[in-house]
Amino acid sequence: MNSLVVVGTGWGDEGKGKITDYLSNKFDVCVRYQGGNNAGHTIKFDNKHFALNLIPSGIFNPKTINILSNGMVIDLSVLVKEINSLIDQGINCQNLYISNRAHILFPYHIELDEAFENLKGDNRVGTTKRGIGPCYIDKYMRIGIRFGDLLNKDSFYEKLSLNVDYANKILSLFGNKIFDKDKIFNKYTSYIDTIKSKIIDTSVFITNSLNENKNVIFEGAQGIMLCLDHGTYPYVTSSSPSASSVALNCGISPQYIQKVLGITKAYSTRVGEGAFPTEIFCETSKKIRKIGNEYGTTTGRERRIGWLDTVILKHGKRVSGITNLAVTLLDVLTGFDKLKICVAYNLDGKKIEFIPSTIEEFSRCEPIYIELDGWMEDITQIKSFDDLPDNAKKYIKTIELTTGIKISIISVGPNRNQTIEI
Ligand code: GDP
Ligand code: IMO
Ligand code: MG
């Protein structure tokens, strides 16, 4: 068993970055497998604080090779800034590679994201406006430009010209800003020297590493509820964070994927629009937002808050093969008399334990809760499960019993060392 997938179980921001960084010293290779800089992964250790958007969270372990896979859409200007900022902070980026099949995200994708959201009006998704959807649209339209294309300047110019003309036609329909292909060409070819040596066939690299029995960790972005296929469509992102997408998104055989660590907060959050059955609006949600610092890493937006939803965890177990869970931000639930966990939904008078396929039905789901007693003790310095307050242990055991998934990690603070392994 030499691979592990780290996947968010909810609507993102579950603490994937923290857990991937924590685990990375056990792994030779760390691969980000989808999404782009819509992600924001926070890592804290030794009084240092990093927020990564594109680079895998294994970058802080000098021995780990970090890979941006073919499944990603990568804003090259953001990547170059992120590399330079890490180098400025003393982090070595020599061990960073990019798939020659990963798609490049250009400035016109960002403008198109804005235009499409405006067009949707009240039905907007509430995207991060980083151009993610439009870049994946180009991939599926079979006009996308990939990192391998960047290395041949003539054909890169040809492909870029066609795409800029095409994007400008759409943008002018909306009255949005249009783009100058030469300016983009000059800017993007100026990055070649910085990244040329990093562009490789990552499918070959990862497969060889697995065959040599090296340990590989696959880090997802977003979460299963934002999955294009299995999330709360259409309020989702444009890729598949589910672990089942790892093989395709990394160019490896599915036989290598056996262990899937689902990352869940001890409660639920969501940024952007879309139904959220366990969402709460009260003093408790305000307190959780404040203590948990629930503001988006990428956009700074207030995160919506709700109780933990085990229907969602069971959904993740089925569609994403979750074998183990890490429960994060358990410390944030300290100080509440009562805590609730959703165990099923009431949909139009019927009890269900799955996520309905339409957003209309999902919006009508009323959570069925069990209530548990809370705990008052500070748990942020606790290092073992046995030392947790009894009610915190009961909370964890209830999640295990309700979902049938083993909990192997509990996180009690944002720092690397505030982690309990069971
Ligand atoms: P990701 O996108 O899944 O990597 O998660 P984010 O980094 O966007 O959001 C998680 C937030 O929770 C970050 O601010 C982390 O520093 C913080 N965090 C992670 N684990 C814990 C924890 O156990 N307790 C607390 N209080 N904060 C945590
Ligand atoms: P990490 O990896 C939280 C949400 C957006 C929006 C929807 C679609 O940090 O967990 P997009 O820009 O992808 O087209 O937006 O998805 N979203 C995230 N929410 N964490 C993320 O990433 C997210 N990435 C996208 O808010 O609702
Ligand atoms: Mg995040």
CB-CB contact of 273 with 124 (8 Å): yes
Nearest to 86 by CA among 105, 120, 112, 60: 60
| Ligand 1 centroid to residue 40 C-alpha, Å | 10
In CATH, the number for domain 104-192 is 1.10.300.10
- Residue 322 predicted with pLDDT over 80: yes
Nearest to 65 by CA among 37, 103, 27: 27
| Ligand 2 centroid to residue 381 C-alpha, Å | 31
Give the C-alpha separation, 345 to 277, whole Å.
8
| Ligand 3 centroid to residue 180 C-alpha, Å | 32
Nearest to 19 by CA among 255, 317, 223: 223
Report residue 415: phi and psi, to 5°. Answer: -80, 150
**For the segment 384-404, what is each residue's pLDDT rounded down to a tens digit?**
999 999 999 999 999 999 999
The protein residue with its alpha carbon nearest to ligand 2, atom 25, reads 38
- Residue 340 predicted with pLDDT over 90: yes
Characterize the bridge pairing of strands 3-8 and 260-265. parallel
Give the pLDDT score at 296.
Answer: 83
| Ligand 1 centroid to residue 18 C-alpha, Å | 7
Two tokens, residue 30: 């760390």
Q: How confident is the model at residue 315 (pLDDT cuts 50, 70, 90)?
A: very high
On whether the 3-99+198-260 domain is CATH 2.160.10.10, my answer is no
Edge-to-edge order in the sheet of strand 260-265: 199-200, 96-99, 65-68, 29-32, 216-219, 3-8, 260-265, 324-328, 406-411, 419-421
**For the segment 238-249, what is each residue's pLDDT rounded down to a tens digit?**
999 999 999 999
**H/E element holding 68?**
strand 65-68
CA 416 vs. chain centroid, Å, equals 18
User: Which residues does ligand 2 sit against, CB inside 6 Å?
Assistant: 8, 11-13, 38-41, 125-128, 130, 132-133, 221-223, 226, 237-238, 271-272, 297
**For the segment 160-208, what is each residue's pLDDT rounded down to a tens digit?**
999 999 999 999 999 999 999 999 999 999 999 999 999 999 999 999 9
Ligand 3 ion local residues (Cβ < 5 A): 13, 40, 297
| Mean pLDDT, all residues of the chain | 97
**Is the CB–ligand 1 distance for residue 329 below 6 Å?**
yes
Whole-number percent of the chain with pLDDT over 90: 98
Based on the residue annotation, tell me whether 315 is a catalytic residue of this protein. no
264-421 to CATH, choices 3.90.170.10, 3.40.50.150, 3.30.420.40, 2.115.10.20: 3.90.170.10
**For the segment 18-59, what is each residue's pLDDT rounded down to a tens digit?**
999 999 999 999 999 999 999 999 999 999 999 999 999 999
Contacts of 294 (CB under 8 A, 6+ apart): 269, 288, 302, 303, 305
Nearest to 7 by CA among 223, 204, 240: 223
Give the C-alpha separation, 189 to 217, whole Å.
31
What is the distance in angstroms between the CA of the first residue and the CA of the last residue of the chain?
19
Give the pLDDT score at 301.
Answer: 86
**For the segment 82-111, what is each residue's pLDDT rounded down to a tens digit?**
999 999 999 999 999 999 999 999 999 999
Give the pLDDT score at 1.
Answer: 57
Residue among 21, 28, 41, 309 flagged as catalytic: 41
Give the C-alpha separation, 103 to 300, whole Å.
26
> What is the residue extent of each domain of the chain?
3-99+198-260, 104-192, 264-421
Based on the residue annotation, tell me whether 230 is a catalytic residue of this protein. no
The protein residue with its alpha carbon nearest to ligand 1, atom 20, reads 414
**Is the CB–ligand 1 distance for residue 331 below 6 Å?**
yes
Whole-number percent of the chain with pLDDT over 70: 100
- Residue 123 predicted with pLDDT over 80: yes
